[in-house]
């Protein structure tokens, strides 16, 4: 609407005489949201927006779509929700939604940031229509402008919902197929202006979708999306990509201090630190071991398992390390549960329900005790140990009688399935240990893992944040929380591996970042190979005790 058209609508009332000023002020607020916040901040208790936050707010109000990659402690969610409040005020009747991995997570984020915003800008409370509604699964904030903010999940459950704009949290975990099918159509219907005409404003950012995340893995759908939007920014298509490492927020005094972050750098894995604080997309894009998107799709298990249930079929994979250097690689146990069809002749899936790390300073005798206790918990059909190098020491200890160091309960001695090693008590030893010489079957082990990922037979625990766990689950950290964190570490290790072609036509794997471990991956691919090689076919005895057929 032009100035002359607005002036023609003016009347003799106080509002009518100043109509054009109101229009100009509203336009100014939309274009400079940070300056509007400066006008309404209290003299005491408010915050002074930093220059990067001002760029953030202006970008989200001015561009068709924004991709933001920021570190932990940057304040991206605070700025994001604050911008949603301003949009709700300046665009009457608009419906906005924040989406996250789960509705619970999105509701919690909105709730937390709402109280922060009200504390820093109490005048915004005058724009609310009643008190916000917060529950475990839902968040709803209504405005006097007839606008609304609520939450949705990055899942098929959001399919069919309609909002005018959405902001996607932790978009690095987003599945593009699901996004195209369930999330993108949410903003299909634009906002209509309030008034007699009720038209779609051609200058408004209708169907806006913004993406906010810490960085993920190179080669993923979201990495490619950020590249496409970066190209769109260069070619002025209305998109913008913003990002920073921990240096920027730290320099402004937000989040952890420099010394605290550098301490975290020593304690965290290189991949985790690069993603969470350096905003680097990590992993191998070229010659990657597996397609990272397909591996992300394997993360479909929502719960772990502490012990075996009747008729469960479990196998263990073990990779061995022993060093006095706590920064060195550690021994890992991978617990695999095999799911079969009704007549148990075909493997439907192999579920990795737990990954256990053994402290690397423990001697082989103690490590053998831990492995045997895990085997007993899950009633495992077989235990696969890499017998090359250091692994031979653990194999030798497993062939001896072991006792629980706390209860003195006998854990038995084992016998090997595939070689002529002699156990300490041959007549009593359980024939359960497969002494794998990984170098001799390396190519098969690697290609089998790739096939398991591509065929979706492999299922891993899903990605969960700490606030997704209940208090009871956090109290049982070792059984309820640790398996999910270990699966995150496994994911990092896989993303750090690339496929290497050997001169004889076979393949092996190679680390991109040399100092990052691959023990969890090794334990995983060993047990997957064993199951695929020897346990495809089973026969059932009269008491339904299923035994693998070993050549």
Domains and CATH numbers, the chain: 46-266 (3.40.50.300), 292-303+312-538 (3.30.420.240)
CA distance 7 to 279: 50
Q: Given this model, what pLDDT does residue 169 score? A: 93
Q: Given this model, what pLDDT does residue 164 score? A: 94
CA distance 258 to 272: 17
Q: Given this model, what pLDDT does residue 109 score? A: 93
Q: Given this model, what pLDDT does residue 322 score? A: 53
Q: Whole-model pTM?
A: 0.76
Burial class from Cβ neighbours inside 10 Å (0-12, 13-18, 19+) for residue 343 reads: exposed
CA distance 185 to 152: 13
Q: Given this model, what pLDDT does residue 268 score? A: 81
Q: Which two tokens stand for residue 172?
A: 């690095």
Q: Given this model, what pLDDT does residue 477 score? A: 92
Which residues pair with residue 246 across a beta bridge? Answer: none
CB atoms within 10 A of CB 251: 12
- End-to-end alpha-carbon separation of the chain, Å? 82
Q: Given this model, what pLDDT does residue 283 score? A: 78
Give the pLDDT means over successive 10-residue stretches in the chain (551 positions). 58 70 88 95 88 95 95 93 95 94 92 94 94 92 95 92 94 89 93 83 90 89 93 94 94 92 87 89 80 89 92 93 55 94 88 91 89 94 90 91 88 91 89 88 90 92 84 90 93 88 80 84 94 75 42 39
Q: Given this model, what pLDDT does residue 324 score? A: 46
**Residue 98 zone, left/alpha/beta (φ > 0; ψ -120 to 50; rest):** beta
Pairing, β 95-100 against β 331-340: unpaired
Q: Which two tokens stand for residue 376?
A: 């007993």
């Amino acid at each position: 609407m032009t100035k002359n058209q607005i002036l023609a609508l003016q009347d003799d009332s106080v509002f009518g005489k100043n109509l054009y000023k109101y229009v100009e002020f509203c336009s100014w607020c939309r274009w400079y949201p940070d300056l509007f916040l400066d006008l309404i901040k209290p003299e005491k208790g408010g915050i002074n927006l930093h220059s990067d936050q001002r760029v953030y707010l202006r970008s989200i109000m001015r561009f068709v779509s924004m991709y933001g990659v920021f570190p932990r402690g940057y304040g991206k969610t605070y700025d994001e929700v604050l911008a949603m409040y301003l949009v709700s005020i300046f665009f009457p009747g608009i419906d906005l939604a924040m989406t996250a991995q789960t509705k619970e997570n999105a509701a919690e984020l909105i709730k937390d940031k709402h109280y922060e915003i009200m504390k820093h800008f109490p005048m915004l409370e005058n724009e609310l229509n009643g008190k916000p509604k917060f529950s475990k699964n839902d968040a709803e904030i209504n405005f006097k402008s007839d606008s609304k903010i609520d939450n949705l999940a990055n899942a098929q459950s959001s399919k069919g919902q309609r909002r005018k704009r959405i902001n996607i949290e932790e978009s690095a975990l987003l599945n593009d197929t699901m996004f195209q099918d369930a999330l993108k159509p949410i903003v299909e219907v634009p906002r209509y202006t309030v008034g007699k005409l009720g038209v779609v404003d051609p200058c408004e950012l209708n169907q806006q979708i913004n993406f906010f995340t810490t960085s993920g893995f190179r080669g993923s759908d979201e990495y490619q999306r950020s590249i496409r939007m970066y190209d769109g920014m260069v070619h002025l298509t209305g998109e913008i990509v913003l990002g920073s490492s921990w240096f920027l927020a730290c320099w402004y005094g937000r989040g952890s201090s420099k010394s605290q972050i550098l301490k975290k750098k020593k304690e965290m894995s290189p991949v985790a630190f690069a993603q969470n604080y350096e905003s680097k997309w990590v992993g191998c894009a070229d010659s990657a071991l597996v397609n990272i998107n397909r591996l992300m799709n394997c993360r479909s298990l929502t719960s772990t398992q502490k012990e075996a249930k009747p008729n469960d079929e479990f196998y263990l994979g073990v990779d061995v390390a022993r060093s006095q250097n706590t920064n060195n690689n550690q021994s890992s146990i991978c617990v695999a549960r095999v799911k079969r069809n009704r007549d148990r002749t075909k493997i439907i899936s192999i579920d990795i329900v737990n990954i256990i790390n053994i402290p690397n300073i423990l001697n082989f005798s103690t490590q053998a005790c831990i492995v045997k206790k895990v085997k007993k918990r899950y009633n495992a059909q077989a235990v696969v140990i890499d017998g090359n190098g250091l692994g031979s020491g653990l194999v030798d200890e497993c062939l001896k009688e072991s006792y629980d160091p706390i209860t003195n309960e006998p854990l038995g001695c084992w016998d090997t399935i595939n070689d002529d090693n002699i156990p300490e008590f041959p007549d009593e030893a359980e024939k359960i240990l497969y002494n794998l010489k990984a170098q001799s079957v390396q190519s098969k082990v690697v290609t089998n893992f790739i096939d398991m990922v591509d065929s979706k037979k492999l299922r891993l625990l899903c990605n969960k944040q700490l606030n997704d766990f209940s208090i009871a689950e956090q109290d049982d950290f070792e059984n309820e929380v640790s398996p999910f964190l270990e699966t995150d570490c496994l994911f990092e290790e896989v993303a750090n591996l690339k496929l290497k072609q050997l001169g004889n036509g076979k393949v092996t794997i190679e680390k991109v970042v040399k100092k990052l471990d691959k023990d969890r991956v090794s334990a995983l691919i060993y047990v997957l190979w064993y199951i695929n090689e020897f346990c495809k076919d089973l026969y059932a005895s009269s008491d339904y005790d299923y035994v693998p057929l070993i050549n």
